[in-house]
Amino acid sequence: MKIGSIAHEAAPDSEAGSSRRTDFAFAASAPLVRPSFEPRSYPLVGWATFAVVLAAWQLVAWRQADAILLPSPIDVASALYGMMGTGELQADLGASLGRLTVGWVIGAGLGALTGFAIGLYPLARSSVLPLVNALFAIPKIALLPVFIVWLGIGELSKVTTIAVGVFSPMAIAAYSGMDAVDRNLIRMAQSFSVPTLAILRKVILPGMLPMLLTGARISGAIAIVLLVGAEMIAAENGVGALALTSGGLMRTDRLFAAVAILGALGLTASWLVGLAERALLKWR
Amino acid sequence: MEIVIENLAHAIGDLQIIDRLDITIGSGEIVALLGPSGCGKSTLLRLVAGLERPTSGSITMGRHIRAAIVFQDHTLLPWRTAAGNVELPLEHHPISVAERRERVAAVLEQVGIADFADYYPKALSGGMRQRVNLARALVLEPTLLLMDEPLSSLDEQLREILLDDLARLWSERGFTCLYVTHSPDEAVRLGHRVMILSRRPTKIVEVVPIETPIEERSHFHPAIAAARETVWNLVRESRAPCHGT
Ligand SMILES: Nc1ncnc2c1ncn2[C@@H]1O[C@H](COP(=O)(O)OP(=O)(O)OP(=O)(O)O)[C@@H](O)[C@H]1O
Ligand SMILES: [Mg+2]
């Protein structure tokens, strides 16, 4: 970080210098900074981009004038504010969050456990892994009708769809994370007679954690996609249902508000994972 | 006799790595192993440590041996600090947390990285990591030390210092030691016997006994200088035919 910032400060200096130099010195004045390939980012740029997109949208909405086809950000904000006043927003968001959380926790938990089993036992790898891979390829929303037939139109079928969707990516993240743990580290621990259970806890688990968190990130996004699908097909409430009914009523301001909430949901999920990564993977 | 290796053979897949090896190591003896890269030195250490089962032959040891390995590759847990890594072997022994911390601090001091106790491995230099590696093996006060090129990525001065430290440590504790190295200098400084190994499948080409007491040895000691030359020549001979393969 420090080296980078020093180099950036130095860059304008050397450019100013080069204008005074003769031509042959030009090549030497090129910045000596090479890409570091470190996962750095500038948080402010993210917000600025967001602001620019919003401003552009506002401008287009003003000039375009048809508020039904493209409501402006201000229209959308006021729709959001209105729904908050009547309590609709809280109700829909609450319903969605409930499904999302329950579905994700169950699916991710079972998926991670299955991944552990695949990673630990060759028998599980041979028997369960092909099933996990097959399941991964099936569009889970196509299973919703099946779950409705089996489990009814209530919460259970929607939660199950999300859980099933989250299951495979989490299982795959868990077992491939386990496979990626350096065998030498396990050998090392064994040479110091660390008991097997402790090796699992002190070597394998921390070693697979980066992959597990990546799995959480990906499965979080998958869960939101499935949530919306399930709510559009078979729900009275929830953000997905809000989007669908608003569209049907040509209330595009509310439709966009619903879409914005989904975006915020996705951002929050990835922010939570980022938080966990920073807390748990500070050794990287 | 502390360790008796008899008729040992080991193959990985079709690759015969060790073929009928016999070594007997006395209690408190340091045996330095020198041999071309890829001849199976690390494999031999793993076999002695019981991390792998030999294809055939036997390795017998005294009953009350506490073995520790200094691995050649980086085997520090990246998610633990230097101190945390050194603490690992102690965590499964019945000693109090306070005593554990004390021993970790003492051994880190001993290898000269006490100031970096709280650093994660990624923030340590190669030489520092190797010292943490060494500290982790020493912290258990092992009676058998299996060392796989423990000083290979250190600078010359530090290597001298740690060679002296190891020699001093040995005279204090009298552990048995298999010391794998590529450096004839290290071999003649620490070994009671220096074994020169052949290319794969590994056999003993020559054994050079060194009588000078370990405490009296130094880089410039005449007997040690002479032994170094002998070992150098043997190593050169043992390697000569293998070029181009
Ligand atoms: N897991 C493995 N699978 C296949 N071959 C292996 C494996 N481990 C080691 N070998 C082979 O065994 C031989 C001996 O390896 P080893 O690591 O013991 O050599 P070494 O003498 O320690 O070499 P160096 O001095 O370079 O460390 C090599 O030819 C290597 O390719
Ligand atoms: Mg080796």
Ligand 1 center from residue A99 Cα (angstroms): 53
- Measured from the Cα of B41, ligand 1's closest atom is 21
SS3 B93: coil
Task: Compute the mean pLDDT over every residue in chain B, rounded to the nearest whole number.
Answer: 86
Distance from Cα A187 to the centre of ligand 2, integer Å: 15
Percent pLDDT > 70 in chain A is: 88
- The ligand placed nearest to the CA atom of residue B34 is 1
Is B69 close to A188, i.e. CB distance below 8 A?
yes
Ligand 1 center–CA B37 separation, angstroms: 8
Chain A: nearest CA to B217, how far in angstroms? 31
Min CA distance, A217 vs chain B (Å)? Answer: 21
Residue nearest to atom 9 of ligand 1 (CA): B43
Residues 116-145 of A with CB under 8 A from B: none
Q: Which residue has the higher pLDDT, A21 or A119?
A: A119
The finding on whether B41 has its CB within 6 A of some atom of ligand 1 is yes
Nearest C-alpha in A relative to B72: A184
B104-109 mean pLDDT: 92
Provide the β-strand partners of residue A8: none
Check if A183 contacts B (Cβ < 8 Å): no
Q: What pLDDT was estimated at residue A3?
A: 43
Looking at the partner chain, which of A192, A206, A207 has a beta carbon nearest the beta carbon of B89? Answer: A192
Given pLDDT bands bounded at 50, 70 and 90, which one contains residue B243? very low
Confidence of residue A16 (pLDDT cuts 50, 70, 90): very low
Interchain contact B89–A (C-beta under 8 A): yes
Closest ligand 1 atom to residue B149 Cα is: 27
Lookup: tokens for A80: 């959001």
Mean pLDDT of chain A, nearest integer:
86
Least CA distance to B137: which residue of chain A?
A: A192
pLDDT of residue A55: 92
CB distance B68–A192 less than 8 Å?
Answer: yes
Q: For residue B52, give the nearest of B11, B108, B15, B2 by alpha carbon.
A: B11
Chain B CB contacts of A192 below 8 Å: 68, 88-89, 92, 136, 140
Ligand 1 atom at shortest distance from the alpha carbon of B46: 18
Report the pLDDT averaged over residues A45-71.
87
Q: Atom 25 (ligand 1): residue with closest C-alpha? A: B37
Q: Worst-scoring range by mean pLDDT, A89-93, A123-127, A195-199, B1-5? A: B1-5
**Contact flag B73-A184 (C-beta cutoff 8 Å):** yes
Element (H, E) at B6: strand B3-12
Is the CB of residue B17 below 6 angstroms from any atom belonging to ligand 1? yes
Residue A278 pLDDT more than 60? yes
Inter-chain contacts counted by CB atoms under 8 A, chains A and B: 53
- For the record, the structure tokens of A152 come out as 């009814």
Instruction: Give the closest-approach CA distance of B182 to chain A in angstroms.
Output: 21
User: Which residues of B are less than 8 Å from A189 in CB distance?
Assistant: 88
**CA B108 to CA A131: how far, in whole Å?**
50
Task: State yes or no: pLDDT of A27 exceeds 60.
Answer: no
- For residue A22, pLDDT beyond 80: no
Q: Do A184 and B75 touch (CB under 8 A)?
A: yes
Tens digits of per-residue pLDDT, B64-88? 788 888 988 778 999 999 999 999 9
Which amino acid is it at A176? S
**Residue A193 pLDDT level (bands cut at 50, 70, 90):** confident
3-class DSSP string for B155-223: CHHHHHHHHHHHHHHHHHHCCEEEEEECCHHHHHHHCCEEEEECCCCECEEEEEECCCCHHHCCCCCHH
Retrieve residue A53's tokens: 């997109």
Q: How far is the CA of B235 from the centre of ligand 1 (A)?
A: 19
- Minimal CA–CA distance to B236: which of B164, B182, B176? B182
Task: Say if the Cβ atoms of B88 and A194 lie within 8 Å.
Answer: yes
Least confident interval from A89-93, A151-155, B7-11, B70-74: B70-74
A82: Cβ contacts below 8 Å, ≥ 6 apart? none
Of these ranges, A65-69, B178-182, B203-207, the one predicted with the greatest mean pLDDT is: B178-182
pLDDT greater than 90 at residue A81: yes
For residue B140, the chain A residue with the least C-alpha distance is: A192
Q: What is the pLDDT of residue A53?
A: 92
ipTM of the complex: 0.83
* Residues of chain B contacting A198 with CB distance shorter than 8 Å: 91-92
Report the relative pairing of strands B15-25 and B176-181 from DSSP bridges.
unpaired
A185 touches chain B (CB under 8 A): yes
Q: Which residues of B touch A184 (CB under 8 A)?
A: 71, 73-75
Q: Which residue has the tokens 């990626």?
A: A180
Asked if A202's CB is within 8 angstroms of B88's CB, the reply is: yes
- CA dist A68 and A79 (Å) reads 13
Query: pTM for the complete prediction?
Result: 0.80
**Residue of A83, A212, A106 lying closest to A158 (CA atoms):** A106
For the CA atoms of chain B, what is the radius of gyration? Answer: 18
Q: For residue A8, name the pLDDT band (cuts at 50, 70, 90).
A: very low
A39, containing H or E segment:
none
- pLDDT beyond 50 at A1: no
Band of pLDDT at residue B241, cut at 50, 70 and 90:
low
Q: Which ligand is nearest to the CA of A184?
A: 1
Condensed to tens digits (0 to 9), the pLDDT of residues A215-233 reads 999 999 999 999 999 999 9
Interface contact A42, partner B, CB < 8 A: no
Q: Is the CB of B72 under 6 A from ligand 1?
A: yes
pLDDT score at B127:
80
